[in-house]
Amino acid sequence: MTALELITASRALLDESTAALFSDAEILMWINAGERDIAYKTGCLESISELTTTEDVRYVAFTGIKVNAVELVESGSTTVLVGGDVNYKDTSDNVWKDTTDVVWKDYERNVTIPYAPQSTLRITPHHFGHIKLRGETKPQYWVQWGNYILIEPIPNDAYTLNAYLSIYPTDQMSDNADVPEIPYEFHEAIVPYVAMMGKLKAQLYTEAAFKYAEYTILLQELIDKHIRRIPARTLDIRVPDEVRTR
């Protein structure tokens, strides 16, 4: 729905087809506030952010987005060195010449391969310094701290992290043709939110309470329908014991 369509639908609930008590600018302000509230309460605006750790720094910052909640952090896409250098000793049949302080190495034995992405575990800040790491330096644990991720152990290199997030809208709607950033199926919840704000301004507090109840019930229905991750039951995905063909 566009901002204009949301304004029109909101005016229908407020029983004010043209601006009188409520200006279009005021309704648009409530539309933006409603979108932010929906994003916060449902987690419907999802994003995957690729982050890079800094050597000897615990925190990793998100840039360009405002994070609502971090759902999962995956550590991966880092290279490791397999094999190693082989030192050669000079013999009389060697075709190269060097001095005594030169060490020849077989660099073809050095192979880089990517780490398979690996989910890390969520902890609390109280766990820092109390987890047995067994020499690990790759991020294994994390906790959200506002617009940052704190990781354990403190990395000794630049590692790549994939963070699965719910975020806030990044832009305000200001034009009639603008569209909310939240998924389309959540647009309908903006209208009762705006109606609630309008009833509050009109000092119709009982009606405002009804609109807020309508709004929260609709949010719960949308969460149950579109957000909840319910594992597939074995009954639904099992392979039949016997398959017959004609």
pLDDT tens-place string over residues 25-45: 999 999 999 999 999 999 999
Mean residue pLDDT of the chain comes to: 82
In a domain, 245, yes or no: no
For 150-171, what is each residue's pLDDT tens digit?
A: 999 998 888 899 999 999 999 9
- Provide the phi-psi class of 67: left if phi over 0, else alpha when psi is between -120 and 50, else beta: beta
Q: Within a domain: residue 214? A: yes
**CA-based nearest residue to 137, from 154, 158, 124:** 154
Nearest to 204 by CA among 5, 16, 9: 16
| Percentage of the chain modeled with pLDDT above 70 | 75
Statement to judge: residues 13 and 93 lie in one domain: no
* Cβ proximity of 200 and 208 under 8 Å: yes
Establish if 95 belongs to a structural domain.
yes
Listed residue (164, 172, 202) closest to 67, CA to CA: 164
Q: Which backbone phi and psi does 102 adopt, to 5 degrees?
A: -100, 130
Where among 151, 167, 183 does a domain terminate? 167
**Other Cβ atoms within 10 Å of 49 Cβ, number:** 19
Q: Assign residue 23 a region (left: φ > 0; alpha: ψ between -120 and 50; beta: otherwise).
A: beta
Angstrom CA distances, 222 to 39, 218, 236, stand at: 12, 6, 23
H-state helical runs in 102-186: none
The pLDDT value given to residue 53? 92
Which of 122, 147, 167 marks a domain boundary? 167
189 shares a domain with 150: no
Q: How far apart are CA 93 and CA 40, in angstroms?
A: 73
Question: Do 31 and 108 reside in the same domain of the chain?
Answer: no
Asked whether residue 233 is domain-assigned, the answer is no
- The answer to whether residue 52 sits within a structural domain is no
Is there a domain that residue 94 lies in?
yes
- Residue 135: predicted pLDDT: 74
**Full residue range of the structural domain in which residue 210 is found:** 3-45+170-228
Query: How far is it, in rounded angstroms, from Cα 243 to Cα 45?
Result: 42
pLDDT of residue 85: 47
- CA-CA distance, 51 to 91, in Å (whole number)? 49
Shared-domain flag, residues 159 and 218? no
One-letter identity of residue 197: M
DSSP state of 104: E
Instruction: Give the model confidence (pLDDT) of 90-147 as tens digits.
Output: 455 545 555 555 555 444 444 445 556 678 899 999 998 888 887 777 888 999 999 9
CA neighbours closer than 13 Å in the CB half-sphere of residue 70:
29
Tally of structural domains, the chain: 2
Report percent pLDDT > 90 for the chain: 59
Residue 119 within a domain: yes
